[in-house]
Amino acid sequence: MKLLIVDDHVAMRRLIGRVVSDMVSEIEECGDGAEALDAYHRCLPDWVLMDIEMDQVDGITATREILLSYPRARVVIVSKYDDEQTREAAQKAGACGYVLKENLLAIRELLEKL
């Protein structure tokens, strides 16, 4: 399984990578939603784990852009925000899952289920 992790904090990308390292064969990383579409095109991952709050292009916008170009892409939002409005925006953008950063082990469960 190939994975693309998009988060503006290197430490968080590495932590997420460690959580799922035994489940994946390849991990690509990028630090902003602006880089996410190019990274997706380059590595064609099975899954994208996408932060929401990033400097240039936020994760909701990046998710929408990826899915416009790659309708079968599977994007999971990984965020610190747990409000209904943010979850709804992620769903409308096409995300197939939503995991809180405080519970990163839920990523494993989600990847195994979907």
pLDDT for the residue 71: 97
pLDDT in tens, 23-48: 999 999 999 999 999 999 999 999 99
pTM of the model: 0.96
Looking at residue 88, which CATH number applies to its domain? 3.40.50.2300
Q: With H, G, I as helix, E, B as strand and everything else as coil, classify residue 13.
A: helix
Q: Tell me how far apart the alpha carbons of residues 8 and 112 are, in angstroms, rounded to a whole number.
A: 25
Based on the structure, what is the number of domains in the chain? 1
Confidence of residue 113 (pLDDT cuts 50, 70, 90): confident
Task: Give the domain range for residue 47.
Answer: 2-113
- Least Cα distance to 61 among 96, 92, 104 occurs for 92
CA–CA distances in Å: residue 38 to residues 4, 31, 80, 112, 113? 11, 12, 25, 26, 27
Each residue of 60-99: pLDDT tens digit? 999 999 999 999 999 999 999 999 999 999 999 999 999 9
Q: Position of tokens 């992790």? A: 5
* 8 Å CB contact between 110 and 103: no
The arithmetic mean of pLDDT across residues 51-61, rounded, is 96
The CB density around residue 4, as the number of other CB atoms within 10 Å, is 25
